[in-house]
Amino acid sequence: MILVGTRPEIIKMAPVVRAFKRRGMPFTLVHSGQHYDYEMSERFFEDLELPSPDINLKIRASTPAAQTAEVMMGVEGIIGEMRPRALLVQGDTNTTLGGGLAAVKSGVPVAHVEAGLRSNDFRMQEEYNRRVVDHISSYLFAPTNASKRILQAESVWGRVFVTGNTVIDACVQHAPMAAKRSKITRTLRFSEFALATVHRAENVDDPEVLRNIAEAMMGAPVPVVMPVHPRTRKRLEEYGLWGPFSTNDNVQALPPVGYLDFLSLMMSSALIMTDSGGVVEEATAPSMRKRVLVLRPSTERPEAVRAGFAKVVGTDRRAIIAEIERALKEKRALPRSSPYGNGDAAERIAKVLGSKNVLGG
């Protein structure tokens, strides 16, 4: 049973779904509904040419605890009916945590894709989610050797496999589709621009932090294009920032965009600014190779920093603007390979789970 619930999970599990199908491995695809509107969820199944989910839990809870509880109850019911040999979850969402807890309480092994990531920023609920899921998982698919060492240092009891990250598989598989099918760059006012995404609670729910980020984009030395997450727009409106931000000459605020459109924006951008760990990883893919400024005080993707793709710049307005200027002037070439693998992570995961000495083959 493959469980997804958010845009990043759908993207990162898409190559796994394809790998299972190529190997003839039976699976049930379940969508929790954590991202439940069309632009944030269903559109991604269409863009990635994935089969529609076999089951949609359609959770509607608004708080993290209630979301987790609804997912637990829904997944428990499905497990009771279907008795899957394993539950495959990805990342650090409430869907991942709720599904993982329901599985272990039902006696079903958990397999965790993207295991071993740590930011050590305990303001982030995702940090708790990923740690708990790692310690209840029977099979842990670590994207890098550094992630494997973290898991070993924490003495996880499950089996650890280094596979690379499936987000690189997704970029490799979908960048050509994006280049051919996306027309979004025709709608932009700017020929050169920095691409920005901001959605994390610790950024958008703090008025001062969100104001700093918004003002940095409005005063950036390069125009900024930003697909605006629904949560981010709501907070910008609440704090009286939406009007100045959305009408600023230096900013083009877009509604949420599909995955192929987002890949096209990444490929066309001069620079990326984000608080998304997944976007940091995507920027290292051979089809992207973009510099990234991480709008957070920490990152659980240190490999991207060490490789030279990313820099953690925090959320201070002046610091962000200064780092944008430095990044635009940087002449040093980026590495040609990604620290997160070469695009075969999904095949490695499918091979492990299809092995007779793992789940009975």
Tens of pLDDT, residues 181-195: 999 999 999 999 999
With a cut of 80, say whether residue 359 has pLDDT above it. Answer: no
pLDDT of residue 45: 81
Q: Which residues contact 53 (CB under 8 A, 6 or more apart)?
A: 4, 29, 30, 31, 45
Count the residues in the chain: 361
Pairing of strands 271-274, 292-294: parallel
DSSP run (H or E) holding 220: none
Task: Name the residues annotated as catalytic.
Answer: 199
Segments in 193-239 forming alpha helices (H): 201-204, 207-218, 230-238
Among 139-143, 225-229, 255-259, the range scoring the smallest mean pLDDT is: 255-259
DSSP alpha helix (H) spans, the chain: 7-23, 43-47, 64-82, 94-105, 125-136, 145-153, 166-181, 201-204, 207-218, 230-238, 242-246, 259-268, 277-283, 302-307, 317-329, 345-353, 356-359
pLDDT band at 197 (very low <50, low <70, confident <90, very high): very high
Pairing type for strands 251-254 and 271-274 reads unpaired
Supply the DSSP string of 282-299, one letter for each residue. HHTSTTT---EEE-SS--
Q: Angle 35-18-182 (CA atoms, 0-180°, nearest 5)?
A: 60
pLDDT at residue 279 is higher than 60: yes
Distance (Å, whole) CA 177 – CA 289: 18
Annotation: CATH topology of 2-164+343-359: Rossmann fold (3.40.50)
User: Mean per-residue pLDDT for 198-214?
Assistant: 96
Per-residue b or e along 67-103, where b marks 16 or more CB atoms closer than 10 Å to that residue's CB: bbbbbbebbbebbeeeebebbbbbbbbbbbbbbbbbb
CATH topology of domain 171-329: Rossmann fold (3.40.50)
Structure tokens at 225: 């294009």
CA–CA distance, 293 with 52 (Å, rounded to integer)? 35
CB 130 within 8 A of CB 117: yes
**134 pLDDT above the threshold of 80:** yes
16-30, 35-49, 61-75: which range is least confident on average?
A: 35-49
Listed in sequence order, the residues at least 6 apart from 111 whose beta carbon sits closer than 8 Å to its beta carbon are 86, 87, 88, 89, 137, 138, 139, 140, 141, 349, 353
Mean pLDDT for 96-124 is 96
pLDDT band at 28 (very low <50, low <70, confident <90, very high): very high
Neighbours of 301 (CB within 10 A): 30
Residue 232 zone, left/alpha/beta (φ > 0; ψ -120 to 50; rest): alpha
- 164 Rama class: left (phi>0) / alpha (psi -120 to 50) / beta: left
Exposed e or buried b for every residue in 328-348, given b needs 16+ CB within 10 A? eeeeeeeeeebbbbebbbbbb
Q: How far apart are CA 352 and CA 86, in angstroms?
A: 12
Closest-CA residue to 325 (of 238, 220, 224, 184): 220
Residues of the chain with CATH 3.40.50.2000: 2-164+343-359, 171-329
Q: Is the dihedral of CA 119, 122, 124, 128 positive or negative?
A: positive
Query: What integer pLDDT is reported at residue 255 of this predicted model?
Result: 95
- C-alpha torsion 226→229→234→235, nearest 10: -70
Calculate mean pLDDT across residues 150-162.
Answer: 98
pLDDT one-digit tens code per residue, 141-154:
999 999 999 999 99
Q: CA 100, CA 121: separation in Å to the nearest integer? A: 22
Q: What's the angle, vertex CA 361, arms to CA 8 and CA 28, rounded to 5?
A: 40
